[in-house]
């Protein structure tokens, strides 16, 4: 790879002690080494902070919020402290293939892509693959992202060209709101057709509560994106269909 640009990795976390060591290890194992990790802890009550502190070095930066404020605030706090030309996102219970950054950066640099995602494979709480692989779409514009949200831990964008994006304080679907902001400026998100991310499916996680996800999906369409009612209804039914189809 010709580039050696810094990649800032954004990771909000809350009570992730069970998984965060493995997640950070998957970053440290990257074949591409010019990265920084910005972890923002949202007042964890378990051993999350002490685990992160054990990794203290020049590339791993921990910011502790003074009170629990949710993932959107934690994500924005991390973004205020990034230094990289590229920004990648990794949830504190997901994992990366060791070549994730290298392959995705090459994909972006060789094609002059500003905004990309990858396929991801699902794993269970013990880290075993479930057999489900979610494919990225080869090319999505704003209308496409309204229907198909890229996997959070798969996304990377060129901040040097696009800038930094902040999101409103929404409890769920804040990653979706982020990608809708980025796509408006990038115009297209390109998918790298390789599963370079492992998404952990957890019982009791926010993303498992489908009814609340649907509620917040509607909130994004109407309150944040200001879409017409009929278009929002169409998109909501499309989302419900894709969720049921996945099952």
Of residues 238 and 157, more confidently modeled: 157
**Overall average pLDDT of the 52-66 stretch:** 93
| SS3 state at 98 | coil
Distance from C-alpha of 241 to C-alpha of 217, rounded to nearest angstrom: 13
User: Residue 91: CB partners within 8 Å, gap ≥ 6?
Assistant: 11, 12, 23, 152, 153, 199, 200
Portion of the chain with pLDDT greater than 70, in percent = 93
Return the minimum-mean-pLDDT range out of 55-69, 133-147, 195-209.
195-209
Q: Using pLDDT thresholds of 50, 70 and 90, give the confidence band for residue 247.
A: low
Contacts 24+ apart (CB under 8 A), 206-213: 206/171, 206/172, 210/243, 212/172, 213/172, 213/173, 213/243
pLDDT of residue 35: 98
181: left (phi over 0), alpha (psi -120 to 50) or beta: alpha
pLDDT of residue 24: 98
Of residues 142 and 224, more confidently modeled: 142
- Each residue's pLDDT tens digit, 61-86: 999 999 988 888 999 999 999 999 99
Q: Using pLDDT thresholds of 50, 70 and 90, give the confidence band for residue 8.
A: very high
Alpha-carbon dihedral angle through residues 150, 138, 83, 49, given to the nearest 10 degrees:
30
Task: Output the average pLDDT for the chain.
Answer: 91
The dihedrals phi and psi of 32, each to the nearest 5 degrees, come to -90, 120
- Each residue's pLDDT tens digit, 84-129: 999 999 999 999 999 999 999 999 999 999 999 999 999 988 888 8
Q: Using pLDDT thresholds of 50, 70 and 90, give the confidence band for residue 206.
A: very low
pLDDT of residue 220: 87
Distance from C-alpha of 208 to C-alpha of 35, rounded to nearest angstrom: 31
Q: Which residue has the tokens 């090459």?
A: 106
Other CB atoms within 10 A of residue 47 CB: 16
Return the minimum-mean-pLDDT range out of 26-40, 169-183, 199-213.
199-213
Instruction: Read off the pTM.
Output: 0.91
**Overall average pLDDT of the 159-176 stretch:** 87
Q: Is residue 243's pLDDT more than 80?
A: no
Give how far Cα 9 sits from Cα of 20, 23, 152, 247, Å.
Answer: 14, 12, 12, 31
Q: Is residue 1's pLDDT more than 80?
A: no
pLDDT of residue 213: 74
Class of domain 7-202: alpha beta
Joined tokens for residue 224: 């944040």
């Amino acid at each position: 790879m010709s580039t050696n640009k810094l990649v800032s990795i954004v990771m909000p976390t809350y009570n992730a002690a069970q998984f965060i060591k493995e997640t950070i290890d998957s970053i440290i194992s990257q074949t591409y080494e010019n990265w920084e990790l910005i972890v923002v802890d949202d007042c964890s009550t378990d051993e999350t902070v002490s685990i992160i502190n054990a990794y203290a070095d020049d590339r791993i930066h921990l910011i502790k919020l003074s009170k629990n404020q949710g993932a959107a605030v934690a994500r924005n706090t991390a973004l205020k402290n990034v230094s990289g030309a590229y920004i990648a996102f990794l949830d504190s219970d997901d994992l990366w293939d060791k070549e994730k950054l290298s392959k995705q950066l090459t994909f972006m640099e060789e094609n002059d892509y500003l905004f990309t995602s990858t396929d991801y494979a699902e794993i269970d709480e013990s880290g075993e693959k479930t057999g489900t692989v979610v494919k990225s779409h080869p090319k999505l514009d704003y209308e496409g992202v309204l229907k198909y949200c890229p996997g959070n831990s798969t996304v990377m964008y060129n901040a040097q060209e696009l800038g930094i994006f902040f999101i409103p304080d929404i409890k769920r679907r804040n990653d979706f709101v982020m990608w809708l902001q980025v796509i408006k400026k990038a115009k297209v998100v390109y998918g790298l057709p390789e599963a370079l991310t492992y998404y952990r499916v957890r019982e009791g996680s926010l993303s498992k509560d489908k009814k609340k996800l649907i509620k917040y999906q509607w909130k994004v369409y109407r309150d944040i994106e200001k879409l017409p009612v009929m278009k929002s209804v169409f998109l909501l039914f499309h989302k419900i269909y894709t969720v049921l189809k996945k099952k």
